[in-house]
Structure 1
Amino acid sequence: MVEAQADAILECGYECWISLADSGVVIEFQDGEGFTAGRAPPVTARQPARPPLPGR
């Protein structure tokens, strides 16, 4: 799908990121530089809740 739309994607800018959500893979493409692919690290813990603001 990305290959079929490559010209339209590159008209918007010289770099883009494609996220394959089902597999957790992220692809970074830079025109003239090629591409890099990697797997995003799994989310293992939630961010801690913010402490309440003083006086509340």
Structure 2
Amino acid sequence: MCIQLLGIVFVVVLNIVTTSIICNVVGLVVPLRLSEEELQTGDDAIHGEEAYAL
């Protein structure tokens, strides 16, 4: 049981580290977050869509 728990912890830590590295590298190339102005406008409006249009 202890070996399985260690395996789980290893995979979780590996995923966190790998994802963080990938996000940081991608963040150097393109912004990962909308600007404040775009956030105020809203993501749907930026793409010309309307959510929950009745």
Provide TM-score, normalisation by structure 1: 0.29
Structure showing greater radius of gyration is 2
- Normalized per residue, which structure has more helix? 2
Instruction: Identify the structure with bigger relative contact order (alpha carbons < 8 Å, sequence gap 6+).
Output: 1
Higher strand share: 1
TM-score when scaled to structure 2?
0.29
